[in-house]
Amino acid sequence: QKEVEQDPGPLSVPEGAIVSLNCTYSNSAFQYFMWYRQYSRKGPELLMYTYSSGNKEDGRFTAQVDKSSKYISLFIRDSQPSDSATYLCAMRNTGFQKLVFGTGTRLLVSP
Amino acid sequence: DAGVTQSPTHLIKTRGQQVTLRCSPKSGHDTVSWYQQALGQGPQFIFQYYEEEERQRGNFPDRFSGHQFPNYSSELNVNALLLGDSALYLCASSPGPGGDTEAFFGQGTRLTVV
């Protein structure tokens, strides 16, 4: 079993839709949770960074962490074609910079 | 701020050869980590360098080695290349080896082994 599970998609939505992306994990020691966006043949770009449980909002993006369920989510409101990319969740323990990634979910937003 | 820069962007090597990839961290960052991303997969941690020493290592063979220089830049070396080493190699930098801060990634070096 992988430490971090993520549905690879693709997830296809029309422009303007609300998108929900999710990851589950098995390591209860994870304390830091990140979402990265990766365009084709580019490096990952950090979108959201959350410590422990709770919600965090940044513009059209909202990250949620439920440590009791070992479940994290990223919501994208008013999705745009430019949001079409692969979204990677990543996690790490306190005191270690090693990130453990999911496989990524490919998102396609059609005009 | 130039961010994290990697070179080269692409290269093709023959099985059995050796390769060196280079990374300059984001300004103000002193810690560099290397990741391997196979096609369709998430990045896998190779190792992390801080104060010119390898601090953490993932599940990669000794064919993968690295170095960090006094200016915090870093190199990743892979010996005896295998076809399975073909991947996007990513460098990430952060301010400190275990700080409560996020890591920033470079654009990656795409290595093809033929």
- Report pLDDT digits (tens) over B23-73: 999 998 999 999 999 999 999 999 999 999 999 899 999 999 999 999 999
**Pick from B11, B5, B17, B27: which is nearest to B87 by CA?**
B11
Mean pLDDT of B88-105: 83
Q: Rounded to an integer, what distance in angstroms lies between the CA atom of residue A31 and that of residue A29?
A: 6
Which of A16-20, A71-75, B51-55 is least confident? B51-55
Residue B38 corresponds to which tokens in the numbers above?
Answer: 């196979």
Q: Which residues of B touch A97 (CB under 8 A)?
A: 31, 33, 48, 56, 94, 96-99, 103
pLDDT at position B99, please?
Answer: 57
Q: Which residues of A touch B58 (CB under 8 A)?
A: 98
pLDDT-based confidence at A94, cuts 50/70/90? confident
Burial B9-24 (b: 16+ CB within 10 A, else e): eeeebeeeeebebebb
pLDDT at position B36, please?
Answer: 98
Size of interface A-B (CB pairs under 8 A): 66
Q: CB of A8 within 8 Å of any CB in chain B?
A: yes
pLDDT-based confidence at B103, cuts 50/70/90? confident
3-class DSSP string for B56-92: EECCCCCCEEEEECCCCCEEEEECCCCHHHCEEEEEE
B35: left (phi over 0), alpha (psi -120 to 50) or beta: beta
